[in-house]
Structure 1
Amino acid sequence: MQLKHSQLFLDSLYQPKKLAAYRIMPIGKVIQYVFLLITAMTVFSLGKFFNNEINQIFAYKEIEEFASDLKWLVYAISIVFLFVMNTLILFAKISVYAYAGQLFLKPMQRRGEYRQVWRTAAFAITWEVILSIILSFFAIPSIVSILLFIVVTMTILLMTLKKYPKMPQA
């Protein structure tokens, strides 16, 4: 399966049947896709950070004088820290969604392993990343956005799990 990341992105937005087929895709391609999502999240987060928070850090005269030569260091450390944190959070979310999806396979009478559901969850989380980028520009309570993310991702994951092959009749 030689697919471009742009095609994977488009399919993950509106093609649950193709996402179900991608469950057998090599894990390397899936992880590349996840890192592209993480990079997008980090770029938008950094834009917001540099526009708002960095000005608050250097708002005090004494700190600004001391840190005028170290501002580049703050930027570099914040970029690395934000990328690592986004990576940890997104991989943890994918793993939790995959575990939840695994719990739904048996009642849905579908065949699949955790590794396949993990790959599917990695693609199903695309809408969550897009929504988190968009909602970061609005003042929405975090509990509302978290619930929205869970509902959207689980809906896409369950729609995709319905396309998995059925369990053989015993």
Structure 2
Amino acid sequence: MKHSQLFIDSLFNPKKLAAYRIMPIGKVIQYVFLLITVVTVFSFGQFTTGFSEDIFNIDGIADYLDDIQWLLYPFAFVFLFIMTSLLIFARISLYALAGYVLAGAMKRRGEYRHIWRTAAFAVTWATLLSILFSFFRFSDLWATMIGIFITIGFIVIALIKYPKQPKK
């Protein structure tokens, strides 16, 4: 399956996310790293355009930073990529934990690894909205709350399509 199809289904077809729970983990991780790359490139673009002398009022520091920008930018990009990876994987894992609890409450059969895959696709909207909200200087609290609501909503819709637990 192509990443573009996964992206479109992640945005517009939350019911298919349940079917993607049996997808190989390598393909899911590739998709997550594509999201991470998009966020990192966007954040790095903001870093390079917003990194000016306005931030530093001391002329000596601004001159020093102008001299070492060629060295600063590659390290900043790598650091940003690593931190973004850490944060997005942690976010997906927390959503998967919440989904695992919800699956038990909904009497649905789902292992954590399957729900993790579903959460990895469900986080697409929250990721894109965080980029969009940064353009409009939207409140971080509200942006986070909207992202959580949408992601949990997608996970719940996907969990409805998970098989029911057998009756005892």
TM above 0.5, yes or no, is yes
Runs of 4+ with deviation above 6 angstroms: none
Q: What TM-score, normalized by structure 1, do the two folds share?
A: 0.93
Aligned position for 2:2: 4
Total equivalences in the alignment: 168
Alignment of 1:85-164 (within 5 A): 85-164=83-162
Secondary structure, in 3 states, of the residue corresponding to 2:54? helix
**Structure 2: stretches of 5+ with no match in the other structure:** none
What is the Cα deviation at residue 43 of structure 1?
0.8
Q: Distance in 2 between matches of 1:69 and 1:44?
A: 24
For the 8 Å contact 1:19–1:123, the answer to whether it is kept is yes
What is the Cα deviation at residue 72 of structure 1?
1.1
Paired-residue identity, %: 54
Alignment of 1:16-35 (within 5 A): 16-35=14-33
**Gap change, CA 1:45 and 1:149, over 3 Å in 2:** same
Q: Distance in 2 between matches of 1:25 and 1:55?
A: 48
**Gap change, CA 1:114 and 1:54, over 3 Å in 2:** farther
Q: Distance in 2 between matches of 1:78 and 1:54?
A: 15
> Is 1:43 paired with 2:41?
yes
Give the alignment's Cα RMSD to 1 decimal: 1.4
For the 8 Å contact 1:16–1:163, the answer to whether it is kept is no
Q: Distance in 1 between matches of 2:167 and 2:10?
A: 30
For the 8 Å contact 2:53–2:62, the answer to whether it is kept is no
2:66 counterpart (65, 68, 78): 68
For the 8 Å contact 1:105–1:111, the answer to whether it is kept is yes
Greater CA deviation, 135-144 or 58-67? 58-67
**Gap change, CA 1:41 and 1:32, over 3 Å in 2:** same
Q: Distance in 2 between matches of 1:68 and 1:107?
A: 56
Q: Distance in 2 between matches of 1:157 and 1:63?
A: 47
What is the Cα deviation at residue 53 of structure 1?
2.8
Q: What TM-score, normalized by structure 2, do the two folds share?
A: 0.94
- What are the superposed Cα offsets for residues 42-83 of structure 1, whole Å, 9 maximum, x if unpaired? 111111111113443566432233333311111111101111
Q: Distance in 2 between matches of 1:120 and 1:26?
A: 12
> Is 1:80 paired with 2:78?
yes
Secondary structure, in 3 states, of the residue corresponding to 1:47? helix
Q: Distance in 1 between matches of 2:36 and 2:66?
A: 30
**Structure 1: stretches of 5+ with no match in the other structure:** none
For the 8 Å contact 2:129–2:147, the answer to whether it is kept is yes
